[in-house]
Structure 1
Amino acid sequence: MAKQDDHAHVYARFHDAVNMSPSEIEEWLDTAESRAVGFKRDGGESVGHASGRRIVQILRTPEAELDGGDYAHMRKVVGFVRRHLAQGPHQEHKVPGSRWRSSLMNWGHDPLKD
């Protein structure tokens, strides 16, 4: 598969996985719930929270201006969302405020929108 075709595939999968708008993600990232979940390196910002900020940047960048690092992060987002969704959906996890849902939302996916 040519790199251009691979990029088109990754771009489409990313936009399937991320079902929140940039403004929805930013609003979510400002909440205490967002900051309370996820793996934190060195006790700082969680990996998912940092990813959410990067997702907003990618969503606001014209497709023609995305670079290899952006596509690598898009692959990472798709993988995380798929793995996390495979862990559920259990009804108790779908309740607003669950850590499962909060983690997914840090990565730009709200399972209640499905």
Structure 2
Amino acid sequence: MADALELDALWEEFHRVVNMTSQELAAWLQVNEASEETVPPPEHDGAPTGEHVLAILQKRRVDLTDEDLDVMYEVVDTVTAETDAGTDAGAGTGTDAAARRRKRLMTLGHDPSRAPA
């Protein structure tokens, strides 16, 4: 388990990058799963990770497990890498790549169309 300062920093960063509410994420995951027409590739872990993000959003900080912390680090790293790549502004362009990127980020609880906090 992380020390208190590290946990505080992770908690704040996670809630900064996850800019969707638990209700918004739950609705997105339901719609996203219902609209899947193809089987995702094996390396695509968006839906299980999204469900785990949803579970974390519904927890108190003191109830986090080591697995929760691993997912939180993964989400922070993924969203930060995607948004630091300079492609955040292209999220609404309608291209296939932008649509896939938006879907991937939203499955992690990050809506790229929202202004950063």
| TM-score relative to the length of structure 1 | 0.81
Instruction: Give the aligned residue type for 2:101.
Output: W
Alpha-carbon distance between aligned partners in 1 of 2:37 and 2:64, rounded to the nearest angstrom: 30
Identity score, percent? 27
Residue 95 of structure 1: CA displacement?
Answer: 4.0
Residue 30 of structure 1: CA displacement?
Answer: 1.3
CA change 1:40–1:56 in 2 (3 A) is same
Alpha-carbon distance between aligned partners in 1 of 2:19 and 2:108, rounded to the nearest angstrom: 10
Query: Which blocks of at least 5 consecutive residues in structure 1 are unaligned?
Result: none
Residue 48 of structure 1: CA displacement?
Answer: 1.2
CA change 1:4–1:41 in 2 (3 A) is same
Instruction: Give the aligned residue type for 1:20.
Output: M
Instruction: Give the aligned residue type for 1:27.
Output: A
Alpha-carbon distance between aligned partners in 1 of 2:13 and 2:32, rounded to the nearest angstrom: 29
Cα-to-partner distance string for 1:46-104 (whole Å, 9 max, x where unaligned): 3111111000100101111112211111000000101111330243x324781111111
* Backbone CA RMSD of aligned residues: 2.5
Q: In the alignment, which residue of structure 2 is the partner of 1:24?
A: 24
CA change 1:36–1:7 in 2 (3 A) is farther
Q: Secondary structure at the match of 2:79?
A: helix
Q: In the alignment, which residue of structure 1 is the partner of 2:15?
A: 15
Q: Secondary structure at the match of 1:110?
A: coil
CA change 1:108–1:36 in 2 (3 A) is farther
Count residues with an aligned counterpart: 108
| TM-score relative to the length of structure 2 | 0.79
CA change 1:95–1:29 in 2 (3 A) is farther
CA change 1:35–1:7 in 2 (3 A) is farther
Q: In the alignment, which residue of structure 2 is the partner of 1:84?
A: 82
Cα-to-partner distance string for 1:9-43 (whole Å, 9 max, x where unaligned): 11111000100011111111112477479x6328x
Alpha-carbon distance between aligned partners in 2 of 1:95 and 1:105, rounded to the nearest angstrom: 16
Q: Secondary structure at the match of 1:41?
A: coil
Alpha-carbon distance between aligned partners in 2 of 1:22 and 1:81, rounded to the nearest angstrom: 17
